[in-house]
Amino acid sequence: MKCYILHFSSTHKDFHLPELETLSKIENVPFSITERSSNPFWIVQIEDDESARKLVKRSIFCKGVYELYGCSDTLDNLHELLKNMQPKPWELYSQTTYKFSIESYGKHLTMEEQLNVINQFGYLHLNGKVSMKSPDCIFTVLEDNEKKSDSKVKAYFCRKLGVGSRDAIDKFDLKQRRYIGITSFESELSLVTAQMAMAGPAKVVYDPFVGTGSFLYTCSFFGAHTIGSDIDGRQMRGKNSVSIRENIAQYNLQSSFLDVFTSDITHCPIRESFLLDAIVCDPPYGVRAGAKRIASIQNIIKDKDTKPILHRYPKLEHYEICDLVKDLVDFAAKRLVDEGRLVLWLPTITEEYSIDDIPKHPALRLLYNSAQHFNHWSRRLLTFERLPRATVVKNNITQNSEHLPAHYKFREKYFGNSPQ
């Protein structure tokens, strides 16, 4: 195993490790963390360079991966370490084209300051030509200049190997999307949702609260076949010839998109024998859009002559989010393949939240519980895995509890009218 540096973004730190562990499973690349602090530079152990590139190539939070040559508490001490190092690993690339880059955390370095740092590495004796556009090797100095950082290591010298997929955030930016609605999900966390679902080629991913299709695009981006439904067909159909299908065409994802249909999860027309690889969703919780479900009424009624008439559009009723989550978890337990994933966003009131709020099911195992915090509330990205059917005796009911979770009557609490 060799030492590498992972350079993460400074956003959504609670999601970094779950994404990395999921990527490790997707790419079959084991890793171990040697050092992890409040700065964005993680020291990890990975088998080889190719495995390191493979691990981060589709990462949304990891900016890049680097082969670590040396690190120390100050830049001066780093120089002393490198001068006395034997053997000198960078000599393997002393004849190749190269360039130097400086990446600083916590402080913006001017070009003059960057050149001053670069010129201090003259003792490396690199004899290759400098190439700023297409170098064979990029030597990188990573600096932690954040005063509040708890890391004892402040300077790293390494060789850049590869980058993640953070450019996809701009690709799916809502400002550039042709069709959006009030429930359209931001691009960065939409991509992470698809990541946690392990979306990929030959997999089928279903969004039962599809809205304007945000998760369909990101799951299809990673190669999965996608299908969605919503009780409100107007959002899916759009208007003025602009709809989900228009966005699918914009992102050139027609080969991965299956279809959308109007339904709720309690009356899903997908046959039960057809198992899904993943279910992803951001259920409506009454702030931007309210949850509805088909009411329990007869689909066929008779007139005075007792002659049957055609089916009518079913009556809808309010869907309390606690009931919605229970039905969703039960649905996932029945419809997921073994080791398939349910990835859902769950809103909660920060002061009232407890671990007991997380839904439980004997056929599902909670893998990750990551939070995005706002003022008095937060939303949690919950990732469940379907346990193998051979190991589960009872798998068709959610575990009952008298506990009222923090998302109970979330709308009233959100708008400051908490029920007594």
Q: Which of 213, 327, 332 is nearest to 275 (CA)?
A: 332
Residue 67 host element (H or E): strand 62-72
Q: What pLDDT is stored for residue 419 in this prediction?
A: 45
Q: What pLDDT is stored for residue 18 in this prediction?
A: 97
CB within 8 A of 301, min separation 6: which ones? Answer: 309, 312
Q: Which of 8, 2, 9 is nearest to 51 (CA)?
A: 2
Q: What pLDDT is stored for residue 375 in this prediction?
A: 84
Q: Which of 262, 257, 172, 245 is nearest to 208 (CA)?
A: 262
Which pair of structure tokens corresponds to residue 346?
Answer: 């769950």
Q: What pLDDT is stored for residue 197 in this prediction?
A: 98
Which pair of structure tokens corresponds to residue 66?
Answer: 């680097």
User: Can you tell me whether residue 168 is helix, strand or coil?
Assistant: helix
Q: What pLDDT is stored for residue 299 in this prediction?
A: 39
Radius of gyration of the chain (CA): 26
Is the CATH code 3.20.20.70 the one for domain 2-164? no
Backbone φ and ψ of 29, nearest 5°: -120, 105
Distance CA 414, CA 420 (A): 14
Beta strand pairing call for 98-105 and 137-144:
parallel
Measured between alpha carbons, how far is residue 71 from residues 53, 75, 80 in Å? 21, 9, 11
| Residue recorded with tokens 């980058």 | 163
Beta strand pairing call for 155-163 and 377-386:
unpaired
Q: Which DSSP state fits 200? A: -
The answer to whether the CB of 215 falls within 8 A of the CB of 225 is no
Max Cα-Cα span within the chain: 99
User: Can you tell me whether residue 149 is helix, strand or coil?
Assistant: coil
Q: Which amino acid is at 61?
A: F
Q: Which of 117, 159, 192, 118 is nearest to 5 (CA)?
A: 159
Q: Where are the domains of the chain?
A: 2-164, 168-417
Q: What pLDDT is stored for residue 149 in this prediction?
A: 77
pTM over 0.75: yes
Backbone φ and ψ of 388, nearest 5°: -55, 135
Helices 16-27, 49-56: inter-axial angle, 10-degree rounding: 120
CATH number of the structural domain 168-417: 3.40.50.150
Q: What pLDDT is stored for residue 68 in this prediction?
A: 97
Mind listing the pLDDT tens digit of every residue in the chain (420 residues)? 999 999 999 999 999 999 999 999 999 999 999 998 888 999 999 999 999 999 999 999 999 999 999 999 999 999 999 999 999 999 999 899 999 999 999 889 999 999 999 999 999 989 999 999 999 999 999 999 887 777 888 899 999 999 999 999 999 999 999 999 988 999 999 999 999 999 999 999 999 999 999 999 999 999 999 999 999 888 888 888 899 999 999 999 999 999 999 998 888 999 999 999 999 999 987 565 567 777 765 433 444 444 454 556 677 777 788 889 999 999 999 999 999 999 999 988 888 888 888 999 999 999 999 999 988 889 999 999 999 998 887 655 565 566 777 676 666 766 674 444
Q: What pLDDT is stored for residue 307 in this prediction?
A: 47
| Runs of H (alpha helix) within 99-148 | 111-119
User: Can you tell me whether residue 124 is helix, strand or coil?
Assistant: helix
Q: Which amino acid is at 24?
A: S
The answer to whether the CB of 350 falls within 8 A of the CB of 373 is yes
Which pair of structure tokens corresponds to residue 174?
Answer: 């809502």
Q: What pLDDT is stored for residue 399 in this prediction?
A: 57
Burial 159-180 (b: 16+ CB within 10 A, else e): bbbbbbbbebbeebeeeebebb
